[in-house]
Homo-oligomer: A and B are copies of this chain.
Amino acid sequence: MVTKVFSAEQLDDKDPLRLKRDEFALPKDTIYLDGNSLGPLPKAAEVRAHDVVKRQWGDGLITSWNQHQWISMPTRVGDRIGQLIGAASGQVVCCDSISINLFKVLSAALKMNPSRKIIATNRDNFPTDIYMVQGLLDLLGDEYSLRYIDEGNICNELDEDVAVVMLTQVNFRTGKKLDMQKMTAFAQSKGILTLWDLAHSAGAFPVDLDACSVDFAVGCTYKYLNGGPGAPAFIYVAQRHQKDYQQPLSGWMGHSAPFEFSPDYTPDRSIKQNLCGTPGVIGMSILEASLTVFDGVSLKAIDEKSKKLQAFFIAEAKSAGVLDEFTLVSPNVDNRGSQIALAHSDAYAICQAWIAKGVIADFRAPNILRIGFAPLYLCFKDIEIAVQKLSEIIKKQEYKHDIFRQKQAVT
Partner among B262, B280, B365 whose Cβ is within 8 Å of the Cβ of A232: B280
Interfacial chain B residues near A30, Cβ < 8 Å: 61
A405 on interface, CB distance cutoff 8 Å: no
Interfacial chain B residues near A131, Cβ < 8 Å: 250-252, 255, 265
Interfacial chain B residues near A135, Cβ < 8 Å: 247-251, 265
> How long is the Cα–Cα vector from A68 to B264 in the complex, in angstroms?
43
A409 on interface, CB distance cutoff 8 Å: yes
- Minimum CB–CB distance for A353 against chain B, Å: 14
Asked if A277 and B233 make an inter-chain contact with CB atoms under 8 angstroms apart, the answer reads yes
A215 on interface, CB distance cutoff 8 Å: no
Chain B residue with Cβ nearest A67: B408
Binds B, one of A151-159, A188-196, A281-289: A281-289
Asked if A130 and B277 make an inter-chain contact with CB atoms under 8 angstroms apart, the answer reads no
Interfacial chain B residues near A229, Cβ < 8 Å: 56-57, 64-65, 70, 278, 280-282
> How long is the Cα–Cα vector from A109 to B215 in the complex, in angstroms?
33
Partner among B40, B132, B247 whose Cβ is within 8 Å of the Cβ of A250: B132
Partner among B32, B66, B253, B282 whose Cβ is within 8 Å of the Cβ of A228: B282
Asked if A99 and B276 make an inter-chain contact with CB atoms under 8 angstroms apart, the answer reads yes
Interfacial chain B residues near A251, Cβ < 8 Å: 97, 99-100, 128, 131-132, 135
- Minimum CB–CB distance for A347 against chain B, Å: 14
Interfacial chain B residues near A282, Cβ < 8 Å: 49, 228-231, 282-283, 286
Asked if A365 and B260 make an inter-chain contact with CB atoms under 8 angstroms apart, the answer reads yes
A interface residues with partner B (beta carbon < 8 Å) = 25, 27, 30, 32, 34, 37-38, 40-41, 45-46, 49-50, 53-54, 56-59, 61-66, 70-72, 96-100, 103, 107, 123-124, 126-128, 130-132, 134-136, 138-140, 220, 222, 228-233, 246-253, 255, 258-265, 276-284, 286, 355, 360, 362, 364-365, 408-411
Considering the complex of A and B, which 4 residue pairs feature the smallest CB-CB distances, nearest first? A97-B277, A99-B251, A135-B250, A229-B281
